[in-house]
């Protein structure tokens, strides 16, 4: 049985970079966004159920995210309908990863960890965080969304302060070096705890 880390954090906080730091240290990583991408690909488990409700969102046998976004904007109930399809499929994909990955420690990269109740399925929760000012700058500097869209996304997520409070560890990602040092500390503590547990049994 693996020790399961749940990694979360709001948009622009440095979660993907932090997940990569764990991966670089040999920790197998499951990524929720990558799982959704697999589900949306041709032959993916989400394609047929989404096609039944929003046929206009399908292009060349896969879910087109741009068209899906348009469907969500046009229909106030669309997001809830899509989530009712996708969330159970993502959960099943995650459970398969946990069951089939043989490693002492694994990491689940879940942006909506608290929002979906996934914190109850992990052994420890890590939240990545920076100041609201840096978070906003990072997101807007990407050039993929405007300020209004950023604000809408934030409004749907558990606030950073609450995520920090509900997490077992907080990694601040102001610099890559600092984040790496914090990852090493947390990973070292987890490994030490697992070693102690094995010695007691």
**Are 74 and 110 in a shared domain?**
no
**Are 136 and 165 in a shared domain?**
yes
Query: Are the C-beta atoms of residues 45 and 192 closer than 8 Å to each other?
Result: no
Number of separate domains in the chain = 2
**Are 21 and 111 in a shared domain?**
yes
- pLDDT grade, residue 201 (50/70/90)? low
- pLDDT grade, residue 76 (50/70/90)? confident
Decide if 170 is inside a domain. yes
Decide if 201 is inside a domain. no
Percent of the chain at pLDDT > 90 equals 78
Decide if 199 is inside a domain. no
**Are 139 and 181 in a shared domain?**
yes
Q: What are the pLDDT digits (tens) for 136-164?
A: 999 999 988 889 889 988 888 899 999 99
Is 80 exceeded by the pLDDT of residue 198? no
Q: Which of 59, 85, 100 is the last residue of a domain?
A: 100
CA dist 130 and 45 (Å) reads 35
Q: What are the pLDDT digits (tens) for 93-113?
A: 999 999 999 899 999 999 999
Is 90 exceeded by the pLDDT of residue 71? no
Decide if 188 is inside a domain. yes
Decide if 200 is inside a domain. no
pTM (whole model) above 0.85: yes
- Confidence (pLDDT) at 153: 87
Domain residue limits at 48: 36-100
**Are 76 and 165 in a shared domain?**
no
Reduced 3-state DSSP string for the chain? CCEEEEEECCCCCCHHHHHHHHHHCCCCEEEHHHHHHHHHCCCCCCHHHHHHHCHHHEECCEECHHHHHHHHHHCCCHHHHHHHHHHHHHHHHHHHHHHHCCCCEEEEECCCCCCCCHHHHCCEEEEEECCHHHHHHHHHHCCCCCHHHHHHHHHHCCCHHHHHHHCCEEEECCCHHHHHHHHHHHHHHHHHHHHHHHHHC
**Are 20 and 108 in a shared domain?**
yes
Q: What are the pLDDT digits (tens) for 132-142?
A: 999 999 999 99
**Are 178 and 138 in a shared domain?**
yes
- pLDDT grade, residue 180 (50/70/90)? very high
**Are 180 and 109 in a shared domain?**
yes
Residue 189: name the closest of 95, 124, 138 by CA. 124
Q: Which of 100, 129, 148 is the last residue of a domain?
A: 100
Q: What are the pLDDT digits (tens) for 6-26?
A: 999 999 999 999 999 999 999
Q: Which of 79, 100, 121 is the last residue of a domain?
A: 100
**Are 110 and 170 in a shared domain?**
yes
Q: What are the pLDDT digits (tens) for 39-63?
A: 999 999 999 999 999 999 999 999 9
User: Residue 22 is part of a domain; what is its CATH number?
Assistant: 3.40.50.300
**Are 11 and 82 in a shared domain?**
no
**Are 128 and 80 in a shared domain?**
no
**Are 154 and 125 in a shared domain?**
yes
Is 90 exceeded by the pLDDT of residue 72? no
């Amino acid at each position: 049985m693996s020790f399961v880390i749940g990694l979360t954090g709001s948009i622009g906080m440095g979660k993907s970079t932090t997940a990569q730091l764990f991966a670089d240290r040999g920790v197998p990583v499951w990524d929720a966004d990558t799982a959704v991408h697999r589900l949306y690909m041709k032959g993916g488990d989400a394609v047929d159920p989404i096609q039944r409700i929003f046929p206009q969102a399908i292009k060349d046998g896969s879910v087109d995210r741009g068209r899906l976004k348009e469907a969500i904007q046009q229909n106030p109930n669309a997001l809830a309908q899509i989530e009712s399809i996708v969330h159970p499929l993502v959960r099943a994909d995650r459970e398969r990863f946990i069951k089939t990955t043989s490693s002492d420690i694994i990491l689940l990269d879940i942006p909506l960890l608290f929002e979906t109740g996934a914190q109850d399925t992990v052994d420890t929760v890590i939240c990545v965080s920076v100041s609201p000012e840096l978070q906003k700058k990072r997101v807007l500097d990407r050039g993929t969304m405007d300020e209004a869209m950023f604000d809408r996304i934030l409004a749907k997520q558990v606030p950073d302060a609450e995520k920090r409070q509900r997490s077992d560890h907080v990694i601040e990602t102001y610099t890559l070096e600092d984040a790496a040092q914090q990852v090493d500390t947390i990973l070292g503590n987890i490994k030490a705890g697992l070693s102690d547990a094995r010695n007691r049994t």
